[in-house]
Amino acid sequence: MPVMVAFAFVALGLAIAAVQGFTVGSIAGGVVAGLGAVPACFGMWKGIQQETQGTLAMSVMAVLVSLGVAALLIILRVVHWVR
């Protein structure tokens, strides 16, 4: 369940960025996407406690996707400001 919440945050961050245009990025979208790392980290902790490989692997992937999308959206916005 935490993995689904994390991906929902990423999707919401991408939706916010889509309103402004993907090529210019979005600080707000990046922050919302980055917040998806919180439930994903909780999922990682639960996976470690339960000693299940699947839960842990999906949570790690959710953390990486969440932070990667957040960084991309924020970097695109900063580059747009510099130009």
- What is the reported pLDDT for 66? 96
pLDDT of residue 34: 94
| DSSP string covering 14-75 | HHHHHHH-GGG--HHHHHHHHHTHHHHHHHHHHHHHHT-HHHHHHHHHHHHHHHHHHHHHHH
Return the biggest CA–CA distance within the chain: 49
pLDDT(22) > 80: no
Q: pLDDT of 27-73, one tens digit each?
A: 999 999 999 999 999 999 998 998 888 889 999 999 999 999 999 99
Measure Cα distances from 38 to 45, 51, 75, 78 in Å: 11, 20, 21, 24
